[in-house]
């Protein structure tokens, strides 16, 4: 079975277990394919934890969930050195970051030192304890969640850390029809206490994932569409040039990392659709999630209730499609 078939089967399998969140599943697979991380924002009870658990059960890798709280310490993530008196030496005990898929639940509740430790793991794929550094696995994904309802006692993520997330996904409530399906699925799972029927027989291997990452880089992307990506990103720094109504609404635009993010995410999105080329629609589909967390709006824009989604919509309408 080809790599693309394995990923498409995984997407179909996960969609059957996580009703009404097909976009979240797709973005998780894109993050895995792009060797990136994603930030998910949505109300409690929308299957964010379930989503990454289903994906982790479907691949040959380990999963760890970290509940971020204000009293969390960096060592709670990275691990620590433990002294063994019988041997007269220190031994490093690995923390939860030494897994393949990490759920950083309510990441904005952790203080700066903890977020800094996570940032090193996300960007450098290593963690530092004392004077030693430890490498992490090639298959390493952090899915962080934020609760948009309760903001008391939270620490807003700094722009430098937000920029390390490939995607910022916003999820909402399922439809009435999907909610009925959720009830039916919940009853089926309750009958099967071991949930054995909900784990696929053929797990996606790390080798298959690495091969898939190589495959998406070989998708055809024309020079015109490459310029289209650059035009979109550079327009975030001065959106008034493409739409006069957006003038003065963005304080800081997206960095060059956004160009690379759109390029990789659009390739992964097209590849998952079975295409061997990237079209304008693939770029537009992922642009919101790549740019949403990378725009710093002006005070005037925030006062008027302007959202990053509105800015991105205006840019996409103003930048000509090749």
Are 250 and 213 in contact, with CB atoms under 8 Å apart?
no
pLDDT by 10-residue block (mean), the chain, 322 residues: 84 90 95 95 88 91 90 90 82 90 89 85 87 89 84 69 92 92 85 64 85 92 96 94 89 93 97 94 97 92 90 93 87
Cα distance between residue 114 and residue 202, in whole Å: 36
b/e code 246-268 from CB counts within 10 Å (16+ = b): beebbeebbbeebbbbbbbbbbb
Q: What is the pLDDT of residue 86?
A: 82
Structure confidence at residue 236 (pLDDT): 95
CA 117/CA 127 separation, integer angstroms: 7
Q: Under CATH, to which class is 219-318 assigned?
A: mainly alpha
How far is 266 from 102, CA to CA, in rounded Å? 24
Tokens of 7: 């990923």
Give the model's pLDDT for residue 293: 93
The CA-atom distances, in angstroms, between 183 and each of 3, 179, 196 are: 33, 7, 19
| C-alpha to C-alpha distance for 107 and 145, rounded to whole angstroms | 6
Tell me what pLDDT residue 87 has.
Answer: 78
As a three-state string, the secondary structure of the chain is CCHHHHHHHHHHHHHHHCCCCHHHHHHHHHHHHCCCCEEEECCCCCCHHHHHHHHHHCECCCEEEEECCCCCCCHHHHEEEEEECCCCEEEEEECCCCCCEEEEECHHHCCHHHHHHHHHHHHHCEEEECCEEEECCCCCEEEEEECCCCCCCCCCCCHHHHCCCCEEEECCCCCHHHHHHHHHHHHHHHHCCCCHHHCCCCCECHHHHHHHHHHHHCCECCHHHHHHHHHHHHHCCCHHHCCHHHCCCEEECCCHHHHHHHHHHHHHHHHHCCCCECCHHHHHHHHHHHHCCCCEECHHHHHCCCCHHHHHHHHHHHCCCC
Distance CA 39, CA 145 (A): 6
- Structural tokens at position 251: 């304080």
Determine how many CB atoms are found less than 10 A away from the CB of residue 280. 15
pLDDT of residue 212: 93
Do domains 3-191 and 219-318 share one topology? The answer is no
Given 3.40.1790.10, 3.40.50.300, 3.40.50.880, 2.70.98.10, which CATH number is that of 3-191?
A: 3.40.50.300
pLDDT at 265: 97
Structure tokens at 209: 């994932």
In the chain, where are the structural domains located?
A: 3-191, 219-318
Give me the pLDDT at residue 36, please: 94
């Amino acid at each position: 079975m080809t790599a693309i078939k394995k990923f498409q089967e995984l997407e179909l399998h996960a969609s059957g277990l996580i009703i009404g969140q097909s976009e979240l599943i797709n973005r998780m697979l894109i993050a895995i394919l792009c060797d990136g991380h994603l930030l998910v924002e949505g109300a409690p009870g929308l299957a964010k934890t379930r989503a990454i658990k289903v994906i982790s059960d479907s691949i040959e890798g380990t999963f760890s969930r970290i509940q971020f709280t204000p009293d969390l310490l960096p060592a709670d993530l990275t691990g620590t050195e433990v002294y063994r008196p019988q041997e007269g030496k220190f031994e490093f005990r690995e923390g939860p970051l030494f897994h393949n898929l990490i759920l950083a639940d309510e990441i904005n509740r952790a203080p700066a030192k903890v977020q800094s430790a996570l940032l090193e793991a996300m960007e450098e794929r290593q963690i530092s304890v004392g004077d030693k550094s430890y490498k992490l696995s090639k298959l390493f994904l952090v899915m962080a969640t934020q609760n948009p309802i309760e903001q008391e006692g939270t620490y807003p993520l700094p722009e430098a850390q937000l920029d390390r997330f490939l995607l910022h996904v916003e999820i909402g409530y399922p439809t009435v029809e999907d909610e009925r399906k959720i009830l039916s699925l919940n009853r089926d799972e309750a009958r099967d206490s071991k949930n054995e029927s909900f784990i696929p027989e053929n797990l996606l291997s790390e080798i298959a994932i690495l091969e898939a990452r190589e495959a998406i880089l070989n998708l055809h992307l024309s020079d015109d569409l490459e310029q289209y990506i650059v035009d979109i990103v550079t327009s975030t720094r001065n959106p008034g040039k493409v739409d006069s109504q957006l003038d003065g609404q963005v304080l800081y635009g997206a960095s060059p990392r956004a160009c690379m993010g759109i390029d990789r995410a659009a390739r992964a999105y097209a590849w998952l659709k079975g295409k061997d080329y990237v079209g304008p629609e693939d770029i537009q589909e992922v642009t919101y999630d790549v740019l949403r967390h990378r725009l710093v709006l002006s005070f005037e824009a925030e006062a008027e209730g302007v959202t990053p989604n509105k800015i991105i919509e205006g840019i996409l309408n103003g930048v000509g499609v090749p």
